[in-house]
A and B are shown apart, each in its own frame.
Chain A
Amino acid sequence: IGEPVPPQRVEIHKLRQGENLILGFSIGGGIDQDPSQNPFSEDKTDKGIYVTRVSEGGPAEIAGLQIGDKIMQVNGWDMTMVTHDQARKRLTKRSEEVVRLLVTRQSLQKAVQQSMLS
């Protein structure tokens, strides 16, 4: 499996699309969700927020966010014990144009993703 990867800091600049500011990825998880359905987590009781999809060419991909990453903090706000809706709200604040995320990813996962993308 290899050495655990240290948490990454990812800075995403939101893209304006009409009325909305989008980041270009999807999240799943939350304390009100069922953690056993999460395909990315190592520990199936983990109720954290995970990146489930990264849209191509979007701000998240440009910033280096990868699918399967677990989001620990958003702009200093903790994301490990929030509900799904709270997480969404914290990411999509209209007043912020830049969000700084603290993410962790599994190193094996990285290898798998890379092999999938290639």
Chain B
Amino acid sequence: MDTESQYSGYSYKSGHSRSSRKHRDRRDRHRSKSRDGSRGDKSVTIQAPGEPLLDNESTRGDERDDNWGETTTVVTGTSEHSISHDDLTRIAKDMEDSVPLDCSRHLGVAAGATLALLSFLTPLAFLLLPPLLWREELEPCGTACEGLFISVAFKLLILLLGSWALFFRRPKASLPRVFVLRALLMVLVFLLVVSYWLFYGVRILDARERSYQGVVQFAVSLVDALLFVHYLAVVLLELRQLQPQFTLKVVRSTDGASRFYNVGHLRYGRRMAQGKDLSGRRMGFSIAGPALRRVGSLRVAVWILEKYYHDFPVYNPALLNLPKSVLAKKVSGFKVYSLGEENSTNNSTGQSRAVIAAAARRRDNSHNEYYYEEAEHERRVRKRRARLVVAVEEAFTHIKRLQEEEQKNPREVMDPREAAQAIFASMARAMQKYLRTTKQQPYHTMESILQHLEFCITHDMTPKAFLERYLAAGPTIQYHKERWLAKQWTLVSEEPVTNGLKDGIVFLLKRQDFSLVVSTKKVPFFKLSEEFVDPKSHKFVMRLQSETSV
């Protein structure tokens, strides 16, 4: 239920009138509302048609209306719960609208497939036609031909395997390749095959070429050319993207955790695609920018998300804000009275500015409070940590692995689960207190701790290894599935992205509670010069500064 994503088909429409878009926005907003209601973790929404409800999506929709093309977020996908009749009709309408785009996508794939099939069968046709058509006139060809036959067979096999590996795989995010390069390659193959057929038709079929060896060599040359085209495809589609060209800085908006990554020529742009997230379920992507008809891939976004899940420490909402005691003082009231006309819009900004300025000028010692609070918290955490470590160490001394030659009463022999349960009691309290102090307790249930303990006991891990999981916040992937299973990620970008990463692009990957801000920078161009240093040239002298008195 958590991994559903929402379907919306209007994103690719561009150039429609604003009023109809507004209508569509609104209509879409309450379709999304019905999804929200069923998800159950966010607000409960009760909608009446035509009423926009306030949550992030709806506010974004307002912005969309005002600044057309600034940020649009659309989510795609399917959901499995019940929908109202209105929704059904709306979806049906949108389905019809979306058919052309799907058609074009499938068309491309189909064209590529037929071309590949054609080019694969062509050499075979070249080889088979002469014996079929003019067998009597054909000169028999000896061992050279047989060698050529074998080479043709193997080369075709290699081509088959290579094409399968390159073009027909299902990566985790099954996104189509670079569109332009693919088209270029298809055109190249098409031209190649057509020209070969032309020559074949004129020189061999019409002239009824007698020497079969020549025909075979002709076919072999075609297969070689196809192999070279395949090599070109590998270089263009794979290798070109490997060289790092850009550095991405990914910052989490809530707590500033940041990482730097190097990427090659990848696309991050916009597409109505279905990506697969790490657990193989369908993940909804959204699109940004106007002119959404253009097909790009979300490769960089997916790649970044993968890295996010295993590099960034888990998002802990409890650790975000300053403790209330520090901030509470700030909320002392400055009352602002407005004299004169009641122009509310003017006054509100003026009022808030006045309040802020006055508060800033006032001498307050909240930084002091913050510092002492922090120090106190540190001390508390360290104390609890020490208690925990000691408790765990002691607990682990109570059990040991049963050696083969020892004879023990069957009642005393335990399996790992029982052993874990036996020693858990002595460290439970210390563990609980520690987790509560570091605000990690939502991430570790008692069951999970027991399981981890059992795991560590089974593999002969030391107490320190057992504690490694709790003493530091790990990456999101470490915790239970419900925590990190991707729900909805939204790609938001201000610029209309057409062809991929450029220097200075900033885009957002949004979740409900936080977002990842990604900014790109081009890797600088290094100019390296060489200098040869003769080892004999290292010579030194003493520094003399004598001072003589006369």
Contact = CB atoms under 8 A, between A and B. Distances in A.
B549 A34 contact: no
Contact of A84 (B543, B546, B549): B546
Contacts of A53: 547, 549
A57 B544 CA distance: 29
A2 B549 CA distance: 31
Contacts of A84: 544, 546, 548
Interface in B497-550: 543-550
Contacts of B547: 26-28, 52-53
A88 interface: yes
Interface in A2-16: none
A107 interface: no
A109 interface: no
A32 B547 CA distance: 13
Contact of A91 (B543, B546, B550): B550
Interface in A28-85: 28, 30, 32-34, 37, 52-53, 55, 84
B550 A22 contact: yes
Contact of A25 (B544, B545, B546, B549): B549
A23 interface: yes
A37 B550 contact: no
Nearest to B546: A84
Contacts of B548: 26-28, 84, 88
B539 to A, nearest CB: 15
Contacts, number: 38
Contacts of A37: 543, 545
Contacts of A33: 544-546
A105 B548 CA distance: 20
Nearest to A30: B546
B543 A27 contact: no
B544 A32 contact: yes
Contacts of A104: none
A22 B544 CA distance: 24
Interface in B110-131: none
Interface of chain B: mostly helix, strand, loop or mixed? loop
Interface in B209-242: none
A50 B114 CA distance: 93
B34 to A, nearest CB: 81
Interface residues of A, number: 18
Nearest to A91: B550
A22 B547 CA distance: 15
| Residue of B544, B545, B548, B550 ringed by the most chain A CB atoms within 10 A | B550
B542 to A, nearest CB: 9
Contacts of B545: 28, 33-34, 37
Nearest to B548: A88
A84 B544 CA distance: 10
A90 to B, nearest CB: 10
A25 B543 contact: no
B543 A88 contact: no
Nearest to A35: B545
B395 to A, nearest CB: 67
Contacts of A91: 550
B550 A34 contact: no
Contacts of A23: 550
B544 A26 contact: no
A26 B543 contact: no
Contacts of B544: 32-34, 84
A32 B543 CA distance: 10
Contacts of B550: 22-23, 25-27, 88, 91-92
Contacts of A88: 548, 550
Contacts of B543: 34, 37
A114 to B, nearest CB: 23
Interface in B460-485: none
A53 B545 CA distance: 14
Nearest to A32: B544
A52 B549 CA distance: 9
Nearest to A50: B547
A25 B547 CA distance: 10
A28 B543 CA distance: 13
Nearest to B542: A34
Nearest to A22: B550
Contacts of B546: 28, 30, 33, 84
A55 B547 CA distance: 14
A18 to B, nearest CB: 15
A92 B549 CA distance: 10
A37 B547 CA distance: 11
Contacts of A92: 550
Nearest to A33: B544
A25 B550 CA distance: 6
A84 B548 CA distance: 8
5 contacts: A25-B549, A28-B548, A30-B546, A53-B549, A55-B549
The 5 closest A-B pairs by CB, nearest first: A26-B549, A37-B545, A91-B550, A28-B547, A34-B543
Given A27-B548, A33-B545, 20 more contacts: A23-B550, A25-B549, A26-B547, A26-B548, A26-B549, A26-B550, A27-B547, A27-B549, A28-B545, A28-B547, A30-B546, A32-B544, A33-B546, A34-B545, A52-B547, A53-B549, A55-B549, A84-B548, A88-B548, A91-B550
